[in-house]
Amino acid sequence: AQSVTQLGSHVSVSEGALVLLRCNYSSSVPPYLFWYVQYPNQGLQLLLKYTSAATLVKGINGFEAEFKKSETSFHLTKPSAHMSDAAEYFCAVRSGNTPLVFGKGTRLSVIA
């Protein structure tokens, strides 16, 4: 069975500071990993995905994530936070013919 653990339900950073949102996964087969962002009252928007190509994946809005098999991690980073980055972020895993499994989410707050 697959699962995702997002460490920290709420992360707060200052504008311009590094953003680091943590995600660890569990999967018995090579996984595909995704980060989605959800703004208030909106659906989920794909930020980036790992599909067994390069381990460092670049996404939209300046975000990137690195797949580390030895650590079963897929942490999301952004060098400099903007106010517009404040949202809920979800890590998700999928492998084989299984449905996309989401973590519980991390709310990012950006302080001016």
- Comparison of 89 and 110: residue with beta carbon closer to another protein: 89
Residue ranges that bind another protein, judged by CB under 8 A: 4, 32, 34, 36, 41-46, 49, 51-52, 90, 94-105
105: left (phi over 0), alpha (psi -120 to 50) or beta: left
Minimum distance from residue 16 beta carbon to another protein (Å): 28
Calpha distance 51→13 (Å, rounded): 29
Distance, first Cα to last Cα, the chain: 41
Minimum distance from residue 112 beta carbon to another protein (Å): 25
